[in-house]
Amino acid sequence: MFALNVISKTLNLPATKSAVNFQILRWRRKPRWVPIAKSKQFRIPQRPVIIEDEQIELKRLFNNYRTQMKSIKRYIVERFVAARAITTDPKDIQRIFDEDFARCNKINDEWNSDIQSKRIEYFENTLEENINLAKESLQKRLELEQFKLEEAEKIVTEQKELSKTFITADNIDEAIERSLANPVDYNFAVDLDGNKFYNKKTL
């Protein structure tokens, strides 16, 4: 139905006339392995009847066409061959070869010189870039090492500071005395306002 609509539009048919009567052509051949349709099995194709005059005329036209086309093809080929005619004289062959070689060599030299200048430029630029990159990375590495050293130093000083409060054999008695004197009770309750209530058991 879509196709019919498209056809109606493209052919500018009035809305009342749809393209129902149009036969949509198959756009590709039926594959060779598909057998003959059941409906076409016993169909006998009509033998074509060509009017005698028409047949003679068609034959004449096709004969003329083929002769003319063959002549034109031969003519073009001969012209082309004549234009590129090659001599059999070895001196001439050597000369043509040398000329061709010189021409090719010239083009090759041009390409080489062009690429050489490009290559020099490329290597100069890349050397400078590489040196800069190496310098940058060295700087970064040094900074990183310095940072690591500082961090380590910081940890060491902190630990040194803490070591003063450590319990040792010398002050163990004092520490025991202190802990006995200050009992700590972690057993507390909390209300909704966050108040802590201690000594629940004793209360």
Partner 1 sequence: MPYKYIGRTHSFKGKTLWEIVGNLKNFGVGRLVVRNTVVERYPEPSYYRILKVETLPQPKEESLDNLRKVKVLLEKTFRGVTNPKPVCIESASYKTDYRLIPKDEEQRYCQYKAPVTNEKIFPSTMELPPLMKEVLIREMKIKGEPVVEPVMDIVYNDKKRRIAKEGEKPTIEIKIGLGKPAALSLYKGIKLE
Residues lying near partner 1 in the complex (CB under 8 A) are found at 42, 44-45, 47, 53-54, 56-57, 60-61, 64, 66-68, 70-75
Three-state SS at 9: helix
For 100, the token pair is 């061709």
Contact yes or no for 166/174 (Cβ under 8 A): no
The smaller minimum CB distance to partner 1, of residues 71 and 187, is found at: 71
For the bound state, the minimum distance from the C-beta of residue 68 to partner 1, rounded and expressed in Å, comes to: 7
Cα 183 from chain centre: 73
The DSSP secondary-structure symbol of 190 reads E
The smaller minimum CB distance to partner 1, of residues 68 and 105, is found at: 68
β partners of residue 190: 196
For the bound state, the minimum distance from the C-beta of residue 30 to partner 1, rounded and expressed in Å, comes to: 19
For the bound state, the minimum distance from the C-beta of residue 70 to partner 1, rounded and expressed in Å, comes to: 4
For the bound state, the minimum distance from the C-beta of residue 26 to partner 1, rounded and expressed in Å, comes to: 23
The smaller minimum CB distance to partner 1, of residues 47 and 91, is found at: 47
The smaller minimum CB distance to partner 1, of residues 78 and 114, is found at: 78
Number of residues that make up the chain: 203
Radius of gyration over every alpha carbon of the chain, rounded to an integer in angstroms = 52
